[in-house]
């Protein structure tokens, strides 16, 4: 059995902040420059939300809206769902799956001290993703796509697992299975 790992041991420290008044375009540039995929959104010196790459793609680009015309405050997720730095990693993994999010700000006292991504968890403990999948099997009828985790066939991590007939497949294995 795995010993308890705390969120603080796995998280990335000093997450990058951006002002709420920044445009989605500026936010996307900042992420690219820093090589990160999310920004904490700051208003009057306080972190009030989070914007991920995905928010920019789904809420701006996919709707044909010019990224220069949307402020980060308009597309951020708020209130901020977060986890305590001394929580067990299991708790964070469960929260991510329940809320369907891939990044979790980490809080110590009243300060945001880091950010935990699903990839951080997979890197440290791939098994955790397996455990938390139980939540999804209850809802699954037919084919569900876009799940992150380990393929039941080749055991490789995939960003886009396909769940069908009680098993999870990566796209490659799914196309093999569905051909049979
Ligand atoms: Zn596979």
The string of pLDDT tens digits covering residues 11-24 is 988 889 999 999 99
Asked whether the predicted pLDDT for residue 52 surpasses 80, the reply is yes
Q: What is the pLDDT of residues 96-107, one digit of tens each?
A: 877 778 889 999
**CATH number of the domain that residue 70 is part of:** 3.10.580.10
Which domain covers residue 83, as residue numbers?
7-126
Please count the structural domains in the chain: 2
Beta carbons of 24 and 58 less than 8 angstroms apart: no
Beta carbons of 2 and 10 less than 8 angstroms apart: no
* 103 shares its domain with 163: no
Distance (angstroms) between ligand 1 centre and the Cα of 13 equals 32
Q: Which 8-state DSSP code applies to residue 4?
A: P
What is the three-class DSSP state of 139? coil
Q: Where are the beta strands (DSSP E) in 11-121?
A: 12-13, 17-19, 38-43, 46-52, 83-84, 103-108, 111-117
Beta carbons of 72 and 19 less than 8 angstroms apart: yes
Distance (angstroms) between ligand 1 centre and the Cα of 62 equals 29
Question: Could you tell me if residue 1 is inside a domain?
Answer: no
Distance (angstroms) between ligand 1 centre and the Cα of 174 equals 7
* 49 shares its domain with 122: yes
Question: Could you tell me if residue 2 is inside a domain?
Answer: no
pLDDT of 141 reads 45
Distance (angstroms) between ligand 1 centre and the Cα of 152 equals 7
Task: Report the alpha-carbon angle 100-2-80, nearest 5.
Answer: 25
Distance (angstroms) between ligand 1 centre and the Cα of 166 equals 15
Asked whether the predicted pLDDT for residue 136 surpasses 50, the reply is no
The candidate with the shortest Cα–Cα distance to 49, out of 87, 96, 23, 17, is: 17
Read off the pLDDT of each residue in 80-92 and give the average, rounded to a whole number.
89
Question: Could you tell me if residue 75 is inside a domain?
Answer: yes
- Chosen domain end from 109, 126, 143: 126
| Six-digit token string for 8 | 């603080």
């Amino acid at each position: 059995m795995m010993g308890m790992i705390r969120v603080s041991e796995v998280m990335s420290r000093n997450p990058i902040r951006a002002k709420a008044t920044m445009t989605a375009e500026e936010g996307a540039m900042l992420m690219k420059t820093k090589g990160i995929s999310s920004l904490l959104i700051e208003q009057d010196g306080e972190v009030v939300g989070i914007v991920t790459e995905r928010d920019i793609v789904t809420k701006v680009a996919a709707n044909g809206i010019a990224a220069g015309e949307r402020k980060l405050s308009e597309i951020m997720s708020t209130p901020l769902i977060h986890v305590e730095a001394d929580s067990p990693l299991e708790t964070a993994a469960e929260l991510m799956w329940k809320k369907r999010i891939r990044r979790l700000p980490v809080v110590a006292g009243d300060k945001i001290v880091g950010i935990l991504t699903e990839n951080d968890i997979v890197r440290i403990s791939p098994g955790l993703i397996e455990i938390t999948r139980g939540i999804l099997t209850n809802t699954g009828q037919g084919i569900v796509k876009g799940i992150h985790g380990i393929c039941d066939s080749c055991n490789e991590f995939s960003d886009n697992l396909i769940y069908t007939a009680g098993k999870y497949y990566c796209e490659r294995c799914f196309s093999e299975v569905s051909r049979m």
